[in-house]
Amino acid sequence: MTLNEISKVLEINCKSNIEITGLNTLLDSNSNELTFLENKKYIKDLVNTKAAAVLIKKEFLAEVPKGTIALICDEPYIKLALASKLFSQNVVEESGKDCVVDKDTTIQPNVYLGKNASIGSNCIIMAGAFIADNVSIGNNTIIYPNVSIYRDCIIGNDCIIHSGTVIGCDGFGFANTKDGKYIKIYQNGNVIIGNDVEIGANSTIDRAVFKSTIISNGVRIDNLVHIAHNCKLGVGCILTGQVGLAGSTTLHEYVVMGGQSATAGHLEIAPFTTIAARGGVTKTIKEPKKQWAGFPLMDHKTWLKLQSKITKLLK
């Protein structure tokens, strides 16, 4: 769409006819994408944006770089939510090529195969699986019964995905108006899963708002794990039962998270970190190869000493 067409929908005055191909973050945007700034803590990202245009409040107008068009509005986040619908994909494609299935792959009965999808060689797709449009599955991968893989997602080679898991559903994204109404932010990205990844039963990996939620090679995910939109898991991470990652969490390589541990959003965890069961991560962890526990989070040895002292007090 042209920026002029988008602006009319958003009720913003703009005459530029530059073509806009999608939405993106301030730092990741290119010269054909629309971005936004709601929170002033991201001003430094605004200065470095390459976006064609930015939804922005008037107070930040002076910080908009040359070459980026400012779309001034009172509620940029609300406008972004409305714009996201303009770029949303069809729920189901009515046209396209039938799914391509490579040699020696077994497709059991009652499997749905979407348009323009592809499945590699030596795979097993069990009964009740849903493989949506434009999904790509590599070689030697096993999809157990009733797994749902939403459109545009990519699964690598040698993966195992257990029953009931959902990959690529919408992340929890809503912008609320001043009167409390929730406006859906359409999740227009996808999920990319690397090679040699195993995902337990009834886990959920949300698709990204922009770009991709990424699960790197060698990751192991237990049952009942939730990974929110735009998360990135490095090589060899382990997530055990009932772990929850909030949106845009980045785990670097070989992070281990114990049962029912969780993170707040927009933070990073250093390589080879261990989070004990029920640990709550609320801030970025920069130092690698350490063990943490508790809520609020503390060094694991300190947490053990604290539990000992509490036990003695009770006695």
**Using one digit for the tens of pLDDT, what is the confidence trace for 213-239?**
999 999 999 999 999 999 999 999 999
Give how far Cα 106 sits from Cα of 12, 22, 145, 201, 256, Å: 53, 37, 13, 21, 34
Coil, strand or helix at 151:
coil
* Architecture label for domain 100-302: 3 Solenoid (2.160)
> Catalytic pick from 229, 252, 266, 300?
229
Longest dimension (CA), the chain: 75
Whole-number CA gyration radius for the chain: 22
d(CA 278, CA 142): 31
Mark whether 252 is an active-site residue: no
Per-residue confidence at 315, pLDDT binned at 50, 70, 90?
Answer: confident
> Mind listing the pLDDT tens digit for each residue in 187-221?
999 999 999 999 999 999 999 999 999 999 999 99
> Mind listing the pLDDT tens digit for each residue in 115-163?
999 999 999 999 999 999 999 999 999 999 999 999 999 999 999 999 9
Q: Select 3-86's CATH number: 3.30.1280.10, 3.30.2320.80, 3.40.1390.10, 3.90.120.10.
A: 3.40.1390.10
Entry pTM: 0.94
Q: Which residues pair with 220 in a beta bridge?
A: 198, 238
Q: Where are the domains of the chain?
A: 3-86, 100-302
